[in-house]
Structure 1
Amino acid sequence: MGSWNSKTLTRNGLIRVVEKRNAVKFICNEHKEIMDIKVEGTFCTRPFAENLENSQLDKEEMWFEHSRVFLSEETSSSNYINASYIDGFRRPKAYIVTRTPDSEKTTCNFWKMIWEHQTEMIVMLNKSEENGDGISYWNPEEGSSLQCGKLRIKTSKIHQNHHPSFQITSLLVTHEDGVKLFVNHFLFKNWQRDDILPPECDFLDLLFMARLYDQSAGSSVALKGYKSPIVVHCSDGLHRSMVFCAMDISISRILNLGKVNLFSIVSKLRQDRYNCLYDPNHYGFCYLALYYYCTYYV
């Protein structure tokens, strides 16, 4: 196994790797190296897990305590949310990665988390119908509202004609005490299943638009004194969401340092979100999307 530093690639180096005849084998072997790295951490305890709605403690219901998101409620049954803090490039806790809400309870906890972190951007990488019951945590009709506990979520504006592969919606979250929070919601339409990868160019366009909105949030940062985490979610919070984080971090490294190390980035992500990115196809997608970025966008 090579050192992590030896896997650092310049823009041209990454292009050469992907264009090699044995690129698929190389990428799969590198992913296997990542899977062989022992990931250590303290997990939730069984008594805590038994409070969950679906009390089966499978790999999708396990999380690391060190990166776990806590809600403000005192009782363990009400402060649970399957969400993890993820560090970004030079930005601790840049993201919160979670599963898409699939019940009334998880929807209310989701919005409680948004409110408590004063999150101004949500990136959704699956469609509502993937949740089985087709539950939506916001009302898709402009001008309509949804009540979640002490919070009312109003769909202020659906922005048309941004891009055929994603939709941007402006949401207004109002607490019962009258305090308001404006949230930009990005819904990516072209990744409907984990095993069917989207066009790389569509995913990059989504990522660039999200980065643009995030960078334009300077005024709110000045008022709050900190930058709120971006909430990224998909059906399980393990694959599509983590690809988004890996790609965003990778592009930031290329722009700021002129080089990238996908091996170390994904290895670090797996230290914060248990069992994420275990599919080599998603690792390969990251390489291919970075190839398109380095070839056509830089």
Structure 2
Amino acid sequence: MLFESSTLGALLKMGSHNTKALDREEPTKIPYDKNVVKFIYQEHEEIINRKVVEGELCFDHNRVVLSEETGSSNYINASYIDGFEHSKAYITTETPDSEKKICDFWKMIWEHQTEIIVMLNEPDGYEKGVFYWSLEERSTLYCGKLNIETLNSQRLYPGLEITKLIVTHEDGGSLIVNHFLYKNWQRVDILPSERDFLDLINTIRLYNRFGGILESVKGYRSPIVIHCSDGLERSMAFCVIDVSISQILKTGKVNLSSIVSRLSRERFNCLHCADHYCFCYSVFYHYFTFFM
């Protein structure tokens, strides 16, 4: 992955073990280093297990466990991911690709009372997954005891659509869900622009703060559900950047490599591609440069 020379030294400063953590009080003192990408790739090799294991596996210590019903399994390929200050701030999972997985997905949404879903791949001939909600307004998808009605949909900006859904349970109760479909990272190996992906993250942060029922009213914090074809690369890049932003806003410092190291112990096989690791650096540097 290529970066402009003006950002390379900053990227190295933002977490490599060869330097101290990035401090927003010293943004003008960041030196240029022509070998920064090499350092980042070396750093990636040190903190990520390069052996990719096939199969849909989750760590036992933080996998999502569904409530069991007669004749059903409690397994879903989904993991809890801790935020900067809050445990289980996110759930990362794969995009459903079968009727059973769709029902399990919505069961997970209901049981966690999730109000925000971030979808980072749109199903097509190349991307795994199916649409797990009705694309027509005022139409309903039925999944066991859950009914998912599409209320309305709008394009916030090119490449990002938000759909408001209402989930109702046959035994009573309802849940409003804001579903964000991001279309600008459609191929996992073709990265979006840093600004575009950052716009998505900032939008989600805004909705998470003001768009749902306040935590003080509910008495708990609902996890954001983030998914892509496998829940390993795009979804975890989102989490890394969002955690980094929260950390620097709170402390003024961030060490991205330590964040990735921690999250790699929460989602099996995640971020094994060094290009995506570099992308996390690049997006965060963009935030640091233009929003701090």
TM-score (norm 2): 0.88
Q: 1:122 to 1:33 in 2, by over 3 A?
A: same
Q: State yes or no: 1:63 paired with 2:63.
A: no
How far apart are the structure 1 equivalents of 2:135 and 2:122?
12
Deviations, residues 161-217 of structure 1 (Å, cap 9, x unaligned): x21121111111011123110000111110011111111111000000000000115
Give the structure 2 partner of residue 118 of structure 1.
113
Q: Distance in 2 between matches of 1:3 and 1:284?
A: 11
- For the pair 1:157 / 2:152, whether they are aligned, the reply is yes
Q: Is the 8 A contact 2:16 2:39 kept in 1?
A: no
Q: Which residue of 1 aligns with 2:142?
A: 147
Q: Which residue of 2 aligns with 1:192?
A: 186
Counterpart in the other structure of 2:45: 32
Maintained 8 Å contact 1:100/1:131 = no
Over 3 Å counting, the alpha-carbon distance change for 1:158 and 1:13 in structure 2 is same
Percent of aligned pairs sharing the same letter: 58
Hey, what's the Cα distance between the residues in 2 that align with 1:115 and 1:18?
Answer: 49
Deviation larger for 169-178 or 118-127: 169-178
Q: Is 2:250 the partner of 1:256? A: yes
The 1-side partners of 2:43 and 2:71 are apart by: 39
Provide the C-alpha distance between the structure 2 equivalents of 1:224 and 1:131, rounded to a whole number of angstroms: 40
Match in the other structure for 2:94: 99
Which of residues 68, 72, 77 in structure 2 aligns to 1:82? 77
Compared CA separation, residues 113 and 7, structure 1 to 2 (3 A): farther
Give the superposition deviation at 1:132.
Answer: 6.0
Report what 2:36 is aligned to. Answer: 23
Number of residue pairs the alignment of both structures matches:
278
In the superposition, relative to structure 1, how do residues 265 and 14 fare at CA in structure 2: closer, same or farther (>3 Å)? farther
Alpha carbons of 1:218 and 1:136: their partners in 2 closer, same or farther (altered >3 Å)?
closer
Residue 224 of structure 1 deviates from its aligned partner by 2.1
Query: Which piece of structure 1 moves more, 29-38 or 263-272?
Result: 29-38
2:268 counterpart SS class:
coil
Matched AA of 2:79: S
Q: 2:216 aligns with which of 186, 211, 222?
A: 222
| In 1: Cα distance, 2:171 partner to 2:28 partner | 53
Deviations 1:236-279 (A, max 9, x none): 01000000000000001111111111111000001111110011
Give the CA RMSD over aligned residues. 2.6
- Any idea what SS the aligned residue of 1:184 has? strand
1:54-108 Cα shifts (integer Å, max 9, x gaps): xxxx534121100110000157952110000000010000000000000000000
What secondary structure is seen at the aligned counterpart in 1 of 2:149?
Answer: strand
Q: Deviations over 1:4-42 (max 9, x none)?
A: 69652223767876953111111111111112699xxxx
Paired position in structure 1 for 2:12: none
The answer to whether structure 1 residue 275 and structure 2 residue 252 are counterparts is no
Give the AA of the match of 1:35. I
> Structure 2 CA distance, aligned partners of 1:265 and 1:97?
16
Q: Answer with 85-94 or 169-178: which moved more.
A: 169-178
Quick one: structure 1 residues 285 and 13, their matched pair in 2 at CA, closer, same or farther if it must change by over 3 Å?
A: farther
**Secondary structure of residue in 2 paired with 1:268:** helix
Asked whether the equivalents of residues 173 and 181 of structure 1 are also in contact (C-alpha less than 8 Å), the reply is: yes
Give the ranges of 4+ consecutive aligned residues of structure 1 lying more than 4 Å apart after TM superposition.
2-7, 12-19, 74-77, 130-134
Q: From the two aligned structures, give the one with the greater helix fraction.
A: 1
Structure 2 CA distance for aligned equivalents of residues 275 and 13 of structure 1: 35
**How high is the TM-score relative to the length of structure 1?**
0.86
2:11 aligned partner: none
Contact 1:131 1:235 in 2 (8 A): no
- Are 2:95 and 2:128, in contact at CA under 8 Å, matched by a contact in 1? no
Give the distance between the partners of 2:258 and 2:26, measured in 1 at CA. 16
Kept in 2: contact 1:121–1:231 (CA 8 A): yes
Secondary structure of the equivalent of 1:191? coil
Q: 1:208 corresponds to which residue?
A: 202
Secondary structure, counterpart of 2:176 in structure 1: strand
**Does 2:162 correspond to 1:168?**
yes
Q: What amino acid is aligned across from residue 225 of structure 2 in structure 1?
A: V
In the alignment, is the contact (CA less than 8 A) between 1:102 and 1:131 conserved in 2? Answer: no
